[in-house]
Chains A and B, each alone.
Chain A
Amino acid sequence: MVSGVFHTSYESDMALRRTPAQKIRIALFILFILVFPFFANKYTLTLANQIAIATIGAIGLNILTGYTGQISLGQGGFMAVGAYTAGLLTVRLGMPWWLSIIIASLVTAVVGAIFGIPSLRLKGLYLAIATLAAQEIILWTVTHWKGLTGGVEALVVPDPRLFGLRLNADFNFYWLAWALAGITALVTLNLFRTHYGRAFIAIRDQDIAAEVMGVNLFRYKLLAFAISSFFVGVSGALLAHYRSIVTWERFTLDVSVLYLAMIIIGGMGSVSGSLFGASFMTLLPAFLTNMGRALRKVFPAINAIMPFIQEATFGLVIILFLILEPEGLKKLWEDIKDYFRLWPFSY
């Protein structure tokens, strides 16, 4: 809800983009996304692709945790399901990449819904622990079911091709990843204008009140798990095709924590917040690495402690955001916009 904007009709109140300023901003953002790859080098393109994949995953987690209020520490496990399903379908069955992404996402949705069953009885930190167990169980299955996944060895996925183009080349993949990220964002924004989305938000705000008002908690919680896991599966499957290699190390508990950090730092229950958080958590390590490289001449010792600096910064950023700005980057951005919209009479 933005202050200082007044609606006089239901159409304008229900619109996704409400003010001319919002329309201009979104147009500029899309223009930037369209123009960016023609000026970017390989390194920045890789980062942009990572951000797109992370954004899809973060939106998925945000549907579950931010909008529906079900804390999930199983993100890494669900991504693993998406990535391994996509990879195995392509390698074993020779399925085209696009079909493998769709089927992998559906499979992830089903797995997510299964691990969502405990959410009927559990809330808050009990659910967090249950999803933590889901994470450990999925990862254990992946590493120990050698006949299916190849165990701890990497699964090599053939290059995805479209009309003879190699789709996992950075430039080509950029369009696929950002198109899917855009679709994910649009679907999610619209989801929360339907009665499903409103039921999710009602469950988050007060589950008992929601049930009293006729929201079937079990059904909607499972649905939230399924929809969320679907997008997480998309992001996992994309990762498999982009990297050409699927290994279990990419889907550990650290990944679950990373994605939770993204939505907390970006903003819970917000699509733009997911994008902010995904960008921030992707760019921060890259920024630190580059800083380390720049400082190497002055402090040669920095090389050895760089991984520790990364880890410490990660922890510190989470704690500082939680204490200083619990609503995340999205809130900062809103504050800036409010300041200019209401200037000079901001009170």
Chain B
Amino acid sequence: MDLFIQLTLTGLTNGAILALAALGFVLIYKSSDVINFAQGEFLLIGAYVMFSMLVQFSLPWTIGLVLTLLVAVGIGVAVERLVLRPLIGEPIISVIMATIGLSSLLRAIVSTIWGNQPRAFPAFIPSKPVHVLGATVGADRLWAIAIAGGMLFLFNLFFTRSKEGIAMRAVADDQQAAMSMGISVKRIFAWAWSIAAMTAAIGGALVANIVGVGPELAGFGLRVFPVVILGGLDSIPGAIVGGVIIGLLEAYVGGYIGMGLNQVISFIVLILILMVRPYGLFGQEIIERV
């Protein structure tokens, strides 16, 4: 039973972070039909910028976090403006390859600035062990769940209550109709990319607080795919539910079966979902018949 609770907590933490990364991913896909293979690198940049703010400039974590988010917004807007906008209307493979190229470029930039060695992250969230229902877990993991949950709640408010959020949903639904209602689609794309970069930065800082910063953080980018396919590529609740399910699944399989199967189980699930229900749990079902 202890093991079960332990695994559940680990799974929930990973799931919460995966959901954060997936949220940015879904946001970009929803509003601009672009699939972002560089999401993991956004996470990486967020973690390293936060690291610099805390260690090299020794700022308090609140200011550091705000500055990190500003940097993330800048990167998101720059990427949208310089790389994605010239590719509007190009075939899907071009857009996929552009974001893959981008991920390679961003990784190189990060390694040039911060080097390739994993480093310890100054804990800005307390990480001493806490006992929950008989299981021991780092407090930072609990905080990660809480912060991710809070973020997701805020985003929900943003999409249902704020003007920009509603405009973004309108663009996602139908770009031309949105344009004719006076919404600037270009600005919405910029919004989508900056919000995606911001959520990734927060996710990156949370992971870094738990495991430290290193180039392997970018691996989260790939782990997002099973999450978004399970939840549905264009569904925000799907990203959250998918993140939690995949996080738990990986934890249970790792704990009870082992053999490294947890590294690949999500991809097996991914193929199965694609065969049975390609639009995922909550995605919009597009039927095409001949």
Q: A211 to chain B: which residues have CB within 8 Å? A: 290
B193 smallest CB distance to A (angstroms): 15
Report whether B112 and A305 are in contact in the complex, using a CB–CB cutoff of 8 Å.
yes
Report whether A322 and B101 are in contact in the complex, using a CB–CB cutoff of 8 Å.
yes
Known: A133-B267, A253-B222. A71 touches B96 (CB 8 A): yes
**Complex: A125 Cα to B92 Cα, angstroms:** 7
Known: A212-B290, A312-B109. A125 touches B275 (CB 8 A): no
Q: Name the CB-closest residue of B to A253.
A: B222
Of the listed stretches A27-35, A81-89, A116-124, A330-338, chain B binds A116-124
Residue-wise, chain B 260-276 has the 8 Å CB interface mask toward A (1 for contact) of 10011001101100110
Report whether B104 and A118 are in contact in the complex, using a CB–CB cutoff of 8 Å.
no
Report whether B108 and A140 are in contact in the complex, using a CB–CB cutoff of 8 Å.
no
Tally of chain B residues near chain A (CB < 8 A): 40
Residue-wise, chain A 314-327 has the 8 Å CB interface mask toward B (1 for contact) of 11111100110010
**Complex: A82 Cα to B164 Cα, angstroms:** 51
Contact of B97 among A126, A129, A310, A322 (CB under 8 A): A322
Report whether A124 and B92 are in contact in the complex, using a CB–CB cutoff of 8 Å.
yes
Q: B275 to chain A: which residues have CB within 8 Å? A: 117-118, 121
Is B30 located at the chain interface by the 8 A CB criterion? Answer: no
**Complex: A207 Cα to B141 Cα, angstroms:** 48
Report whether B225 and A129 are in contact in the complex, using a CB–CB cutoff of 8 Å.
yes
Q: Which residues of A (242-266) have their CB < 8 Å from a CB of B?
A: 253, 257, 260-261, 264
- Determine which residue in A125, A257, A260 has the highest number of CB atoms from chain B within 10 A of its CB, and name it: A125
Known: A211-B290, A309-B108. A129 touches B94 (CB 8 A): no
Residue-wise, chain A 109-149 has the 8 Å CB interface mask toward B (1 for contact) of 00000000110011011101110111011001000100000
Report whether A311 and B271 are in contact in the complex, using a CB–CB cutoff of 8 Å.
no
Report whether A323 and B92 are in contact in the complex, using a CB–CB cutoff of 8 Å.
no
Report whether B271 and A130 are in contact in the complex, using a CB–CB cutoff of 8 Å.
yes
Tally of chain A residues near chain B (CB < 8 A): 44
Q: Which residues of B (253-290) have their CB < 8 Å from a CB of A?
A: 259-260, 263-264, 267-268, 270-271, 274-275, 278, 288, 290
Contact of A316 among B35, B93, B101, B288 (CB under 8 A): B101
A314 smallest CB distance to B (angstroms): 5
Is A208 located at the chain interface by the 8 A CB criterion? Answer: yes
Contact of A323 among B86, B109, B112, B225 (CB under 8 A): B86
A215 smallest CB distance to B (angstroms): 11
**Complex: A157 Cα to B25 Cα, angstroms:** 43
Report whether B87 and A315 are in contact in the complex, using a CB–CB cutoff of 8 Å.
no
A326 smallest CB distance to B (angstroms): 6
Is A308 located at the chain interface by the 8 A CB criterion? Answer: yes
**Complex: A311 Cα to B83 Cα, angstroms:** 17
Is B183 located at the chain interface by the 8 A CB criterion? Answer: no
Is A65 located at the chain interface by the 8 A CB criterion? Answer: yes
14 A-B pairs (CB sep. < 8 Å) = A118-B274, A121-B275, A128-B96, A129-B274, A136-B222, A305-B112, A312-B112, A315-B100, A317-B101, A318-B97, A318-B101, A319-B102, A322-B87, A326-B90
10 closest A-B pairs by beta carbon, nearest first, are A318-B101, A315-B105, A315-B104, A312-B108, A311-B108, A140-B264, A133-B267, A315-B101, A319-B101, A308-B108
Known contacts A129-B274, A315-B103, A315-B105; 20 further A-B pairs (Cβ under 8 A)? A125-B96, A128-B35, A129-B270, A132-B222, A132-B225, A133-B226, A133-B274, A136-B222, A136-B264, A137-B268, A144-B259, A253-B222, A308-B109, A311-B104, A311-B108, A312-B112, A315-B101, A318-B101, A322-B94, A326-B90
Which A residues contact B (CB, under 8 angstroms)? 65, 71, 117-118, 121-122, 124-126, 128-130, 132-134, 136-137, 140, 144, 208, 211-212, 253, 257, 260-261, 264, 268, 305, 307-312, 314-319, 322-323, 326
